[in-house]
Amino acid sequence: MISGFNIEEATTQKKKDLPRISGAEAVIRSFIEEGVETIFGYPGGAIIPVYDALYDYQDRLNHILVRHEQCALHAAQGYARASGRTGVCIVTSGPGATNTVTGLADAMLDSTPVVLISGQVASNTLGTDAFQEINFLEITQSVTKWNCQVKRAEDVPAAIAKAFYIAASGRPGPVVVDITKDAQNGMLDFDYQPVKFIRSYQPYREIDNDQILEAARLINLAKKPMALIGQGVILGGAENELKEFLEKSGIPAAATLLGLSALPSDHPQYVGMLGMHGNYGPNIKNRDCDLLIAIGMRFDDRVTGDASQFGINAKIIHLEIDPAEVNKLVYADVPIIGDVKQTLPMLTEKISQNDHTAWLNEFRVCYNIEREDIIEPAIARRGAHLRMGEVVDAVAQQFDDAILVTDVGQQQMFASRYFKFKQTRSIITSGGLGTMGFGLPAAIGAKIGAPERDVCLFVGDGGLQMTSQELGTIYQSQVGVKIILMNNGYLGMVRQWQELFYNHRYSFTELTNPDFELLAKANRIPYRCVERHEDLEDAIREMRETEGAFLLEMRVEKEENVFPMVPAGQPVTNIRLE
């Protein structure tokens, strides 16, 4: 008979000569066992014992004190996505816990591995509406991959081991371990056993070889195939496997927003970004495709537009680790369930060497149209004011191998369109949840997760003000984030929709802004403002050459629109160039 995973069972067998420590210290030592180096957190009443234990481990764990718990999560997300490791957060009960919900939801939708330890009131006061008590398990049920509550010190190591395994395996996601104060204070004999198996959770299944053969057959027959690269390639570390597949098959490849940088921007078969503000070719050619090979992506509506029309003339092969994503939005003729790191090479082995030059050239033609109509005008140094496209282009030229972090809105779309990627894990952006305020804390996490790389954050004036308190974190922890503030005095994306679809009725989208120079100075961050085209390069150079963080304010055109654009809910082939 199989033994189910039972925390209590696993921890009641008392062993001799194990260190006797508190539940709080067990939290810290479990982190060390899991190889954790950095924690993002914020202390509070119900988590003081853990912080007290942390006091003795400061030489082994780097704790970043954020200014708001939401940002602990976003920073952990940025850290996880830049480094490929699990992000770790600690917060207190009640408001500390509820503040993290947006971050958990963001990590859930964007499949980011995060472990959150939340303090909880003592177990004998649970359910009494005690001070700073909230039913956090219930609240986080739909925004976590898994959650649990620990009420006994001896259950701490097993719960944390399980949390780390669940967060990072299969399709990654956020996990919450809610620990009561008495469990933190109680004593246990510390014995850490990493979890590698849970009987009710089988994230890796046997790969169906028949589906591989059928997919290979379709690929070999296809005249106009297109590969759709999702974040699954990055999460699976399958960038090389992807390249080998593409180079053998000769198939043109487009990326989703989160799939950007899995393939270098200058790869000859890369044809651009999918989606609402993606490139012209991959959208307009959607109806011409006879085969779509979706690789670790989930057919988000921002990618598909009207899903019933998506790939209407194409067979669809869907390589996906999460069975629940298959046939959820778009019917897959050939589903291949598994980690793309495993399934892609199996597929590559079975396909024949091929060449799709003529088909690839059709995308080149589309690109040339887009370049002439959209890209060149967008990045040109022209007009009375700076524009976001030219700013992104100018930054990309001087930071040619940086991690791009964005906030949400117009700058996110301009940045993802015009930034260039050389290596993987080079884009960190809130794709699924579209969380304004994500950018600044995520950039902090990214820089800490990949200290050797430059981190460029593009953020709007609206988004920066949602989490601008984190400038204090940047100062205290000396995080060298390069912040490019696109200040147009509007909530630009909503304003664009109001202009295009709501008859220019700019309802509450105009911002009267604070003096960002003073904001930078208050946080002792070097600052410069650019208003004229001719100062752009020099200002970016100054930012690049300045050690550490920098806030570069770009006073950009107030009413600029992002194009191309697929109107929401319409087929992607209805993409508008103006």
Catalytic site includes residue 34: no
Alpha carbon distance 136, 148 (integer Å): 10
* Residue 176 makes contact with other proteins by CB under 8 A: no
Is 132 tagged catalytic? yes
Cβ proximity to other proteins: between 5 and 57 the closer is: 5
Hey, what amino acid is at 108?
M
Provide the mask over 3-22, with x wherever binding to other proteins is found by CB under 8 A and - wherever it is not.
-xx-----------------
Dist CA 561 CA 200 (whole Å): 49
258 within 8 A of 346, measured Cβ to Cβ:
no
The single residue of 346, 486, 493, 543 carrying the catalytic annotation is 493
- CA distances to 71, 446, 456, 537 from 394, in Å: 29, 22, 12, 7
Q: For 55-186, where are the alpha helices, taking DSSP H only? A: 69-83, 95-98, 101-109, 136-140, 156-168, 181-185
At 293 the three-state DSSP class reads strand
Among 19, 95, 127, 323, binds other proteins (CB under 8 A): 323
Q: Which region, judged by CB under 8 A, interacts with other proteins, from 31-39, 231-239, 318-326, 558-566?
A: 318-326
Considering the rule CB under 8 A, would residue 137 count as an interface residue with other proteins?
yes
- The answer to the question of residue 333 lying near other proteins (CB under 8 A) is no
Total number of residues that touch other proteins (CB under 8 A) = 26
Among 16, 266, 324, 534, binds other proteins (CB under 8 A): 324
Query: Residue 547 corresponds to which tokens in the numbers above?
Result: 């050690």
Nearest approach in angstroms of CB 2 to other proteins is 5
User: Is 69 noted as a catalytic residue in this protein?
Assistant: yes
* 20, containing H or E segment: strand 20-22
Closest distance of CB 117 from other proteins, Å? 18
Specify the stretch interacting with other proteins by CB under 8 A; choose among 192-200, 345-353, 426-434, 538-546.
Answer: 192-200
Look at the alpha carbons of 344, 266, 385, 561 in this order and tell me if their dihedral is positive or negative: negative
Minimum CB separation from other proteins for residue 286, in Å?
23
Please give the structure tokens belonging to residue 428: 């960190």
Alpha carbon 452 to its chain's center: 20
Nearer to other proteins, 112 or 147 (CB): 147
Closest to other proteins by CB, 200 or 353: 200
Site string for other proteins, 200-219 (x = CB under 8 A): xxx-----------------
Q: Which of 569, 566, 568, 570 is nearest to 274 (CA)?
A: 566
Toward other proteins, which CB reaches closer, 318 or 417? 318
Q: How far is the CB of 542 from other proteins (least distance, A)?
A: 49
Alpha-carbon span 418 to 416, nearest angstrom: 6
By CB under 8 A, the residues from 388 to 447 that bind other proteins are: none
In 3D space, the residue among 457, 474, 496 whose CA is nearest the CA of residue 549 turns out to be: 474
Q: Which of 15, 16, 20, 199 binds other proteins (CB under 8 A)?
A: 199
User: Smallest gap, in angstroms, from Cβ of residue 297 to other proteins?
Assistant: 17
Give me the helices (H) in 399-470, please. 410-418, 439-449, 461-466
Q: Which stretch binds other proteins (CB under 8 A): 28-36, 145-153, 216-224, 403-411?
A: 145-153
Token pair 């088909």 is found at 359
Task: Tell me whether strands 20-22 and 187-189 are parallel, antiparallel or unpaired.
Answer: antiparallel
What radius of gyration do the chain's Cα atoms show? Answer: 24
Catalytic machinery residues: 69, 131-132, 181, 493
User: Could you list the residues that contact other proteins (CB under 8 A)?
Assistant: 2, 4-5, 137-138, 141-142, 145-149, 166, 196-202, 322-324, 326-328
